[in-house]
Amino acid sequence: MEAEMNATARSADSRIVMIGRAGAPRGAVGFGGRTRIIAPVLGADREALDAEMRLLAGSEGAAVDIVEWRVDSLLAALPAGADAAAEIARAWEQAVCLSPLPVLATIRTIDEGGEASLDAVEYAELVGVLARLADAVDVEIDRAGAKDLIAGARAAGAIVVASHHDFSATAPSEAVFGVLSRMDAAGADVLKIACRARDAQDALRLLDVQLRARAEFSRPIIAIGMGGVGALTRIAGSRFGSAATFASLGAASAPGQLSVEETRGVLDLLERG
């Protein structure tokens, strides 16, 4: 049923992707129009996650559109030998499913700046678990079998955000565009790339690629320059092809990330009229 709803949403407008399962109390949010704000939650246990859900339900979460559950924080805190799939399901049932907003579940691996150390089989298993629970799931495009993971997650009813992170540099334009092209070919619903912006030229190059990709692909694009100089890419808004940006309610989850309040204020100014 959920997969059916998502397919219908995509067919109405190829650039609009609805994140939200049919009948879920969290509702649904469209990607591809106004730039959406995604707020990561980083709780490593049920109590911390519960507190973050309550924060989102209050005035602090009023400007947030999507919750990103950083599952790697939970995984990193588990004792050796713990049943990771069972712990994820427990955290979902006891805390995360109470989110007032649609949930994007992300396992950010150590290779891409996160905390999860998983082999290919473990990663695939846990992405599959999350695809059956969350409204959307992140799949790192450079993981083994990414195309099959994307297909499986979509079959389970989840929207898929394909991602790539480079914390060292921003590659030349054609290389960045090539990564987004691979995501598109793999069948992801939303294409996300985040690179370290070392100077203004890097930031401008990312914005240029984002505009080009928006014209080329029939999918929402998220291109982010990490670091202080990359902040421009986080607040560029829909006029520069940005489907969404990430902003913090508390501790930032990436270099250069702004607060939800800062981000919403700037986006409102840029997207006015």
Annotated catalytic, 164? no
* Residue 108 known to bind ligand: yes
* Residue 70 known to bind ligand: yes
Q: How far apart are CA 33 and CA 243, in angstroms?
A: 7
Name the one residue in this structure whose structure tokens are 């509702």. 27
Annotated catalytic, 192? yes
Q: How far apart are CA 33 and CA 193, in angstroms?
A: 18
Strands 190-196 and 159-166: parallel
| Tokens of residue 265, six digits | 């204020």
- The active-site residue out of 143, 192, 205, 264 is 192
* Residue 68 known to bind ligand: yes
- The active-site residue out of 10, 26, 165, 205 is 165
Amino acid letter, residue 15: R
* Residue 234 known to bind ligand: yes
Quick one: which of 75, 139, 134 has its CA closest to 105? 134
Strands 17-19 and 29-31: antiparallel
Amino acid letter, residue 172: P
* Residue 69 known to bind ligand: yes
Report the catalytic residues: 165, 192
Going by the annotation, the residues of the binding site for 3-dehydroquinate are 68-70, 108, 234, 253, 257
Going by the annotation, the residues of the binding site are 68-70, 108, 234, 253, 257
